[in-house]
Amino acid sequence: MLRLVVLISGGGSNLRALLQRCDDPAFPAHVVAVGADRDAAGLVHADEFGVPSFMTPFTAYSSREEWGDALLEAVRPWAPDLVVLSGLMRLLPPRVVDGLGPALINTHPAYLPEFPGAHAVRDALAAGVDETGASVIAVDHGCDNGPLLARERVAVLPGDTEATLHDRIKPVERRLLAEVVEGIAAGRIDLKERA
């Protein structure tokens, strides 16, 4: 049973979906803690599922590196087998990536390497593409350019807004994330060799 720590910044709908999957005894993982870089609305899902949570506010530290060190200290006691970035809108400092990796993965609402960065859905719309996607990657020192673990195309439909497109992407992200977690638990995905 993999011990997961999930890190969020926002509403946490993908976190909620993962918590629901973990309620299935056949799912080979459980969330031992949820962390956030701010008072994220998504922390309520941890409370509702009885999962401990912590907050390491980015704005409380004088540098990204100091924040990162505090985040490491907040995550480590949970002894995670895998850390999942699920809507964490912060670039992790190298010390954190090295400290948590290679068991550190991220979901992204685009078909990487297309549209990396914090506005992937908006960028795909602006590019006028007729398909984008969802991806799960292993996190390295770059921004959304770590080793691909899973990705799947998602159609962009006429009249899509950022919200309607993102709402079509998220269920795919959630399914891919669950599949990757199952693959890691089953040993089909070896993050050490991907690093």
* Catalytic residue numbers, as ranges: 108
Nearer CB in complex with ligand GRF: 79/118? 118
- Say whether residue 12 binds ligand GRF (CB under 6 A): yes
**Which one of 87, 99, 133, 146 is in contact with ligand GRF (CB under 6 A)?**
87
What sign results for the dihedral spanned by CA atoms 185, 187, 192, 195?
A: negative
User: Binder to ligand GRF among 53, 170, 180, 189 (CB under 6 A)?
Assistant: 170
> Cα separation of 10 and 190, whole Å?
29
From residue 70, how far is each of 18, 35, 73, 156 by CA, in Å? 25, 12, 5, 39
Do the Cβ atoms of 18 and 31 come closer than 8 Å?
Answer: yes
Binding-site member from 68, 93, 109, 146 for ligand GRF (CB under 6 A): 109
56 vs 174, beta carbon nearer ligand GRF: 174
* Contacting range for ligand GRF; rule: CB under 6 A; set: 12-20, 49-57, 61-69, 146-154: 12-20
In this structure, is the dihedral angle defined by the CA atoms of residues 79, 84, 90 and 96, taken in order, positive or negative?
positive
- Does position 108 interact with ligand GRF (CB under 6 A)? The reply is yes
